[in-house]
Amino acid sequence: MSSLLIAGGTLLTPFEEIEDGALIARDGVIERVGTRAELAGEHADVEIDARGRIVCPGFIDLQVNGGGGALLTEAPTVETVERMTRDFVRFGTTAMLPTAVTADEDNVCRALAAVREAMERPIAGARVLGAHLEGPFINPVRKGAHDERFIRRPDVPMFEQLLAASKGALRLITLAPELPGGLDLLAAARAAGVVVSIGHTDATYEEAFRAIDAGASMATHLFNGMRPLSQREPGVIGAVLESDRIVAGAIADTVHVHPSVLSLIYRAKGAEGVALVTDALWSAGGIEGSEELQGRGVGLRDGAWYLKDGTLAGSALSMNIAVRNMQRLAHVPLIDCVRMATATPARLLGMQDEIGVLKAGAKADIVICDEDLRLEKVFVGGVIAYEVT
């Protein structure tokens, strides 16, 4: 039986802040959490002094398109998924949904199958929780950088083919519910246990609420790829900010969403209503990339990826920087920033007792970092997955 003891840091559970805290985990599962004094008699195979450091759950990224220099739908293999998990764990992501974007149907099926295969393998980096399918059932009016050649109207039989290709790996789908057949597809996805996110959509306020009433529980990268907020037509944004039944995905890179708007989202939704995502393309932190996206020119500028026509294509973000941006630029308390990167996405997936929290019975997915959110050690299942040497 392997065991891990971390003591002396500030624990952000993230529902409680424990000064001079401690936790002990055995065989990859947290056994006790409390103050260092309360755990004074505990010993473990690995003991870490975390004084002066922040200890929090590992981050959970629900939307990540590639990593390690590869993009999932352009290199749809299990090796790509493994590169993604190793790349992002360096920045505190301990669980992720590799994301297949709108592409040739064969490539999408292969990407979903690769995620399924990765889930069945022992992985050295972040956990693979399943796949996020962003498209092809989106509105071409709000396509963003998605390739219009492969966009499809909502089609339940096609969805069922993709679901079968994933062999149970599909956990989240982004769709435009206002399109003909959109609510039927939403119902089919919910019946299959797939979380539905409204995104790349031109839905009105009323259409958005119909989707929420039908079971949509997330909005993909709020403010991006959707009808703008207006005083006379609030659209999806107004519906999401108003409803407590739907979580807003937010790309906190300050390029996709201005810091003042990130602050507005938090003030409207609270930490329980926002899930931070990266929507990253080829790598965490944007250190690697390609000059082409599905045959179209693309470049890195001011911390984000753009098509040559100026369309935002994705971020160059890592989760620790997303948390730091929310704290420092959107002026959100750190504990709530951490919650938006951990407990909230875990709850969206129905995994709130397993990941995204430091409590007895949860997996020992743990981040140790300094006050600037610079990572020092990352544990996945109580085993070191990354450390600064």
As annotated, the active-site residues are: 279
Q: Which residue has the tokens 């300094």?
A: 370
Alpha-carbon span 179 to 249, nearest angstrom = 21
- Bridge partner list, 57: 366
47 torsion bin: left (phi>0), alpha (psi -120 to 50), beta (else): beta
Contact, 388 vs 127, CB < 8 A? no
Considering only CA atoms, give the Rg of the chain: 20
Q: Tally the residues of the chain.
A: 389
Distinct helix (H) and strand (E) counts, the chain: 10, 23
- The alpha carbon dihedral of 349, 97, 79, 115 has a sign of positive
Q: Which residue has the tokens 């995905």?
A: 249
Q: Name the amino acid, one letter, at 131.
A: A
Contact, 36 vs 7, CB < 8 A? yes
Task: Provide the 3-class DSSP secondary structure of residue 64.
Answer: strand
Q: Which of 159, 158, 137 is nearest to 211 (CA)?
A: 137
DSSP code per residue over 315-343: E---HHHHHHHHHHTS---HHHHHHHHTH
Q: Which residue has the tokens 């080829």?
A: 282
Contact, 4 vs 44, CB < 8 A? yes
Phi and psi torsions of 28, nearest 5°? 85, 5
Contact, 364 vs 4, CB < 8 A? yes
